Amino acid sequence: MSEESYTMKEAMLYSQRIGHLSKALWKAVEKDWQQWIKPFDLNINEHHILWISYHLKGASISDVARFGVMHVSTAFNFSKKLEERGFLRFSKRDDDKRNTYIELTEAGSDLILEMNRHYLDTPHHIIDGSLPLKELYGRFPEFLDVMAVIRNIYGDDFVEIFERSHKNYQEEFEEMHKKEMVTK
C-alpha cells in the first residue's frame, strides 16, 4: 500500500486503537484461558502446543511455532516439558531428518478431551461479554475484518489451519453430543 493512501495521523490512530483493543481483549482471554487450564497444571503455551498437535496430527516444531505464534525455541522447550509428562512424543521422519515432529500420545489426547469436557467449569468473561451480541444477532461475533487482517499478516496457511481446527472442534462436539444422546 502506498503512503498516499493514508495519512500519518490515520495510521497512528488506527495502530493505537488496535493496540489498546488487542491488549484489553488479550487480558480477558488470557485470564479465562489460565483459569480453564489451571486444574490440569498447564500454562497457555503448553495448552496451545497440545491443541495444535491435536489438530495438526504430527506437526513439526516449526509448524507449532508458526501456528502458535511463538518463537521456535519456545515451542521446542514447552514441547519437551510436555514430552517429559507423557503427553507428546518426538520423532524424525525418514524423508525429513532436519525437522523435529511432535504428536500427541494417548495420554495427551485424553487430556485435551478432558479439558474440553470441563470448559464450562470456570468463568469466561469473553463469552459473557459477547452474549448480548449473540442474543441480538443470534450468533457470536465473527470478526471477518480481523480475520482479513490476520490473513494479510500471517498468510493463507495460518488462516486455513485456524479454520480447519475450528471445523474439527465443531465436528467433535457434534460427535460427542450424539454419543451423549445415545447413552441417555
Taking only the tens place, the pLDDT of each residue in 100-115 is: 999 999 999 999 999 9
What's the pTM value of the predicted model, to 2 decimals? 0.83
Q: Which helix (H) or strand (E) holds 102?
A: strand 96-104
Taking only the tens place, the pLDDT of each residue in 45-99 is: 999 999 999 988 889 999 999 999 999 999 999 999 999 999 999 999 888 888 9
Structure confidence at residue 134 (pLDDT) = 94
Structure confidence at residue 184 (pLDDT) = 62
Of 4-13, 29-38, 85-94, 121-130, the least confident = 4-13
Other residues' Cβ atoms within 10 Å of the Cβ of residue 40: 14
Spatial separation of the C-alpha atoms in residues 168 and 166, rounded to whole Å? 5
DSSP 150-161: HHHHH-HHHHHH
Taking only the tens place, the pLDDT of each residue in 152-179 is: 999 998 898 888 888 887 887 787 777 7
Expressed in angstroms, the distance from the first to the final Cα of the chain is: 58
DSSP 22-61: HHHHHHHHHHHHHHHHGGGT--HHHHHHHHHHHHHSSEEH
**Cell, residue 121:** 467449569
In single-letter form, the type of residue at position 66 comes to: R
Identify the three-state secondary structure at position 96: strand
